[in-house]
């Protein structure tokens, strides 16, 4: 047996093969470490869903990401004045380190302004809504594997946006900034972006008719004062105890307004 050969091949050739395999394994390990660093680092996933919110009672969402709501349920609640049609912006942290997100909003393409973004009015829900509890904070810290939800009143601003759209249509996505990561906001899927054209007024299938009561009630509800605004404007001098008392009083008034106003408006005078 030739001492310079192994299984019929020169030892030098085997050494080269082993070296190439070792180099390849090292590259794979290095690549995996880089990928793992980004996967575990500060990053978020953003989703935009169509939603119908019946204040203090129910929140129904289309989790497919499409701008579409069923005409029967929850669409009937919207057209009959029990629910508000909103956009649900969901932000999740799939990484292993906390991240801070800020400035939730809707970037719009098809507008005459470049990089146009708007932030419609945000609505908050109580804790009883569980993982779909919505907040109005514009800066939120997300722990690993946590999520936060925002409810945006986008239909209140879309008509004015469409007036400045050259082609009478715009495309909407959800986005949020991530502190310390990049200046570019993280956006929802481009494939699932919403297309809104001139004349559109709802995401409910079939272009349903809204009752006059539903239109009036919606305009009334979105103008009800929020507890934080009332406190800051009228009771900025109040102490901690009165602050909490005012929060509860204002919230109670809003809850009563969302219940008493529809009942009162449904009454008929002889």
| CA 235 distance to own-chain centroid | 31
The boundaries of the domain holding residue 248 are: 224-266
Q: How many domains does the chain have?
A: 3
**How many other CB atoms are found less than 10 A from the CB of residue 177?**
19
Question: For residue 9, what pLDDT is reported?
Answer: 73
Residue bearing the bigger pLDDT, 117 or 247 = 117
pLDDT digits (tens, 9 = 90+) for 72-111: 989 999 999 889 999 999 999 988 889 999 999 999 999 8
**pLDDT (tens digit per residue) in 158-195:** 999 999 899 999 999 999 999 876 678 899 999 999 99
Mean pLDDT of 13-26: 86
Residues 54 and 185 in one domain: yes
Give the mean model confidence (pLDDT) for residues 14-34.
Answer: 86
CA distances from 269 to 54, 123, 264 (A): 27, 33, 11
Q: Beta strand 147-152 with 122-123: parallel, antiparallel or unpaired?
A: antiparallel
SS3 content of the chain, % helix, strand, coil (to 5): 35, 25, 40
Note whether 90 and 168 are same-domain residues. yes
Residue 99 located in a structural domain: yes
Q: Are 74 and 16 members of one domain?
A: no
Largest Cα separation within the chain, whole Å, is: 115
Nearest to 168 by CA among 200, 214, 209: 200
Residue 215 placed within a domain: no
Residues 111 and 193 in one domain: yes
> What pTM does this model have?
0.74
For the stretch 47-79, pLDDT in tens is 999 999 998 788 999 999 999 999 998 999 999
Indicate the pLDDT class of residue 231, thresholds 50, 70 and 90: very low
Q: Are residues 65 and 146 in the same domain?
A: yes
Whether the CB-CB separation of 58 and 74 falls below 8 Å is answered with: yes
Q: 143 vs 9, which has greater pLDDT?
A: 143
Instruction: Kindly state whether residues 171 and 69 are assigned to the same domain.
Output: yes
Percentage, residues of the chain above pLDDT 90 = 46
Q: Are residues 137 and 69 in the same domain?
A: yes
Average pLDDT value for the chain? 81
Q: What is the CA radius of gyration of the chain?
A: 27
Residues 129 and 250 grouped into a single domain = no
With cut-offs at 50, 70 and 90, classify the pLDDT of residue 114.
confident
């Amino acid at each position: 047996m030739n001492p310079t050969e192994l299984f019929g091949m020169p030892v030098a050739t085997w050494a080269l093969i082993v070296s190439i395999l070792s180099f390849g394994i090292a590259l794979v390990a290095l690549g995996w470490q880089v990928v793992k660093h980004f996967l575990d680092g500060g990053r978020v996933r953003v989703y935009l869903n169509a939603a119908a919110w019946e204040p203090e009672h129910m929140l129904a969402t289309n989790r497919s990401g499409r701008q579409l709501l069923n005409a029967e349920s929850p669409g009937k609640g919207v057209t009959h004045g029990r629910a508000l049609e909103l956009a649900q912006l969901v932000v999740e942290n799939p990484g292993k380190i906390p991240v801070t997100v800020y400035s939730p909003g809707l970037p719009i393409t098809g507008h005459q302004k470049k990089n146009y973004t708007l932030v419609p009015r945000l609505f908050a829900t109580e804790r009883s809504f569980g993982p779909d509890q919505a907040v109005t904070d514009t800066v939120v810290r997300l722990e690993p594997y946590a999520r936060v939800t925002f409810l945006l009143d986008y239909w209140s601003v879309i008509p004015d946006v469409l007036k400045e759209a050259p082609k009478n249509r715009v495309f909407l996505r959800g986005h949020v900034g991530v502190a310390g990561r990049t200046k570019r906001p993280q956006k929802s899927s481009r494939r699932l972006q919403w297309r809104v054209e001139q004349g559109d007024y709802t995401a409910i299938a079939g272009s349903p008719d809204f009752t006059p009561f539903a239109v009036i009630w919606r305009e009334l509800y979105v103008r009800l004062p929020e507890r934080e605004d009332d406190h800051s404007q009228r009771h900025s001098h109040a102490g901690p105890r009165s602050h909490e008392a005012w929060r509860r009083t204002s919230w109670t008034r809003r809850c009563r307004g969302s219940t008493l106003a529809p009942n009162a408006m449904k009454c008929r005078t002889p």
